Amino acid sequence: MSSNEGRVYFALDGGNIEPEELSKFLGIEATSIYRKDSREFGKRSNINSWELSTPNVIGEYVDVYELSKELIVELLPKKDLIIAAIKRFNFTPRFEVVLCISTNEEHSTPAIAFDANVVKFLGEVGAYIDIDTYRN
């Protein structure tokens, strides 16, 4: 039987410095980086991307509300540096929710919500929210 899977991540896309340099600038090690012209998921990336992600949660219940809060707690102390990097290096901030939803009707569907601190942080850094959903 399939389970729900999910994670959230914060990404800085584009920019005119390498993702490793951004990690140094922010003082945060990325969980993933993608380079322009690399091949990810069978597609060629047309931008650089720096990502900080929660672990992938697998189970009957995935709580995006809690995952989002955990990630923002980690990013909040770096908010001013993130804003400076966005302006200085021309990054586009993105908050991504990735969900694989179980087709088993006995499993709960993932909870998708964001608390006020998450929304405030995303607004202050100018991030948009993208929610990718897949059937598992």
Label residue 12 left, alpha or beta by phi (over 0 means left) and psi (-120 to 50 means alpha). beta
Taking the C-alpha atoms of residue 81 and residue 26, their distance in angstroms, rounded to an integer, is: 6
What whole-number distance in Å separates Cα of residue 99 and Cα of residue 56?
10
DSSP letters along 41-98, please? TTEE-SS-EEEEEPPPEEES--BHHHHHHHHHHHHGGGHHHHHHHHHHHTEEEEEEEE
What are the average pLDDT values for consecutive 10-residue runs of the chain, which has 136 residues?
88 90 96 74 67 92 93 97 97 96 84 94 98 88
Note the pLDDT of residue 109: 82
pTM of the predicted protein model? 0.89
Q: What is the pLDDT of residue 46?
A: 65
pLDDT of res. 44: 47
pLDDT at 42 (0 to 100): 52
**DSSP 8-state secondary structure symbol assigned to residue 111:** B
